Amino acid sequence: MDDETTAAATRYVPHELVMQILHRLPVKSLMRFTCVCKAWHDTITRDQSFQRQHLCLQQTCMLIAPWIRTNYGGHPYERKLKVTTPGLYRWEMSQDAATLVLAMDSFPVVEAGRRHNLAHCDGLVLVSMDDTVWVLNPATRHVLLLPQSCITPRGLRRCFDGALGLGHDPHSNTYKVARFYYPSVDRLERGGYHYTLGMEVFTIGRDQHWRETAAPPPYPIMAGRTATFFKGSLLWTIDESLLLPGDVVPARGFLRFSLNDESFSVIPAPPGCPDLRYATSNLAELRGELCVAHEGPKHKSFRSACIWVCNDVDGSNPPQWVQRHVMNVPRCIHLVATSNDDILFLGGSYNLMCSDSQSTLGVRHVAIMHDLAYHHPNTNTLVKYTSEIVYDYGVIPYVPSLVSI
């Protein structure tokens, strides 16, 4: 072959090989490559099969949202605590600093009790403050403000503030946000409350407004907690303290909301599981398994934590729970993610720890959120968020993705 023919052959790269390379690139690079040509633009931004394959090849890291204290108005002794967050920071365990991926300076300042926990699904993050809900993609920096609900919940106290959830419906290949709320709450003369329950759903990319489910939720759930997404369903812990006289729950456990047919069912808790209290138990999806952590017996200097797992909650048979870990921990734990064969969890609100059978207590320290440096790439500066100014940290697992909103 002559030189011109050889050069032409060398320049050709099969389309399949190009796709394999693109699948493994970070989102930031792919967003720049949308300008290469129309074919690449359409593949990266619109091809859902490409986006799903890219998502499967990304590594899980952490997303941190520091909630900064602010006080406002009135007499010093009457001030209500308000909080705000500067943004979402991406962090990996091998790093000493977390990097800002999405600034949230323009988001409102809210009362501490009027913000919900963050939720994550396929690179999308759910943020809720007061009655306003956003879905964000930190990797592409796209922000979707959901419409205001036409229903004003009655919140007489913290337990009536409702709860939210974000998940993927594999049957319709859509992402849905579900909102549990109390349409009415009335105080009873003999004590306690009488309330009604409701659930609204918003399908991203399809719905223009929230819509109520055909049937209301059968039981109240713990307020302020975002749902755990697991294999096409959202799961909340049933709040047994709010059950009305005469209510009988089929089994202690979790309220399941199927994103496919938008129906409700109850998933029994692991056998022998104690009361599912707000502070001492939590749900998480870890590496394809549903995990429940609950407090075990207390000792003088430590307490035990039990972690149960199951692989399926979709079916007529009860889930098959298996006790995977029993470990001694210094305080109550909140499951976050997995790393290799270890389980990462928060001890308190800022101490990230990891299960480790080689440690005396069965766990080892990973990081303290206060001690991390927080990097702002636009200004190339490092910021410290000390315990004096931070009210709380939102820490969730995160996988950068191209999923559009």
State pLDDT tens for residues 186-228: 777 776 777 889 999 999 999 999 999 999 999 888 887 899 9
- DSSP secondary structure letter of residue 139: T
User: Looking at the domain assignment, is residue 220 inside a domain?
Assistant: no
Lookup: tokens for 179: 């909102």
Top-confidence residue, 14 or 394:
394
Q: How confident is the model at residue 301 (pLDDT cuts 50, 70, 90)?
A: low
Mean pLDDT, rounded, for 61-87: 76
The answer to whether residue 40 sits within a structural domain is: yes
* Of 376, 369, 358, nearest in space to 394 by CA: 369
* Domain membership flag for residue 42: yes
pTM over 0.85: yes
Does residue 25 sit within a domain?
yes
With contact defined as beta carbons under 8 Å apart, do 312 and 329 qualify?
no
Which amino acid is residue 236, in one-letter code?
W
- Percent above pLDDT 70 for the chain: 84
Could you report the per-residue pLDDT of 9-36, keeping only the tens digit for each?
556 778 788 888 899 899 999 999 988 8
Helix (H/G/I), strand (E/B), else coil: 161: coil
For residue 73, give the DSSP letter. S
CA distances from 397 to 54, 184, 203 (A): 17, 35, 23
Establish if 104 belongs to a structural domain: no
3-state helix, strand, coil in the chain (%, to 5): 15, 45, 40
Q: Is residue 22 part of a domain?
A: yes
Helix (H) or strand (E) holding 48: helix 48-56
What's the chain's average pLDDT? 84
Domain that holds residue 40: 14-57
- Indicate the number of domains in the chain: 1
Give the integer Cα–Cα distance in Å for 236 and 167. 13
Q: Is residue 362 part of a domain?
A: no
Q: Is the pLDDT of residue 344 over 50?
A: yes
Residue 34 lies in a domain: yes
**Whether pLDDT at 323 is above 60:** yes
